[in-house]
Amino acid sequence: MDAIVKNFPGAGTQNGTAGVRPTQAEAEDAVRVLLRWAGDNPNREGLLDTPKRVAKSYRELFSGYDLDATDVLGTTFEEVGGYDDIILVRDIPFHSHCEHHMVPIVGKAHVAYLPAGRVLGLSKIARVVEIYGRRLQTQETMTAQIATAIETTLKPRGVAVLIDAEHMCMSMRGVRKQGSTTLTTSFTGTFKTEPAQQARFMTMVYSR
């Protein structure tokens, strides 16, 4: 799956077109409307500060819109002592939100690449997962975005991404199947053209 890696128009600004960001007061008013729609009274004591808390929480939960993965991936290193095999960071925990129902997606990402002379700081990979996780997402899109960002910026011989996540839109509502998880993968370069490298990646991910 191909993905466009970019920020949305107006994200993080007070201007722009369709993507213009509402004010804090407008966001709080919207929360009060939802509280009334849910059947509660936003003026009761326990809910008086809820709109402010929710707006603040959303700023943090969706902070990925204000960040660009290419900026995070801009610093690389050449002194690798001749190392040219798989580099894998596995079990990267993340929390995201389903773009269809705005309920949580909770899971782990496993990200690997085959270097072509330069390598990333390991924390940069986790940071990229964080950036795309802190947006409204589908798991398929997020998987492709992570792979595309690393592929485009680092230009390695290949990138492999596997995400294993539970979607609260399945657990809390709808079919209500608690504990079921979804697996998605994205492969580029050597990982896409050589099944043996895909198999090595999967073995490294699940070998404990």
139 part of the active site: yes
101 part of the active site: yes
Q: Could you identify the residue written with the tokens 């198999």?
A: 199
User: Which pTM does this prediction carry?
Assistant: 0.85
45 part of the active site: no
208 residues of the chain, pLDDT tens digit each: 334 334 444 444 433 345 688 999 999 999 999 999 999 999 999 999 999 999 999 999 999 999 999 999 988 888 677 889 999 999 999 999 999 999 999 999 999 999 998 899 989 999 999 999 999 999 999 999 999 999 999 999 999 999 999 988 777 666 667 778 899 999 999 999 999 999 999 999 999 7
Annotated ligand binding at 97? The verdict is no
Annotated ligand binding at 169? The verdict is yes
**3-class DSSP assignment, residue 105:** strand
N- to C-terminal Cα distance for the chain?
29
Annotated ligand binding at 110? The verdict is no
Of 176, 85, 92, whose CA–CA distance to 129 is shortest? 92
Residue 21 CB burial class (10 angstroms; 0-12, 13-18, ≥19)? middle
Of 140, 169, 194, 198, the active-site residue reads: 169
Of 137, 139, 145, 197, the active-site residue reads: 139
**CA 86, CA 80: separation in Å to the nearest integer?**
13
Of 97, 101, 137, 140, the active-site residue reads: 101
Q: Identify the structural domains of the chain with CATH numbers, from first to last.
A: 1-61 (1.10.286.10), 69-206 (3.30.1130.10)
95 part of the active site: no
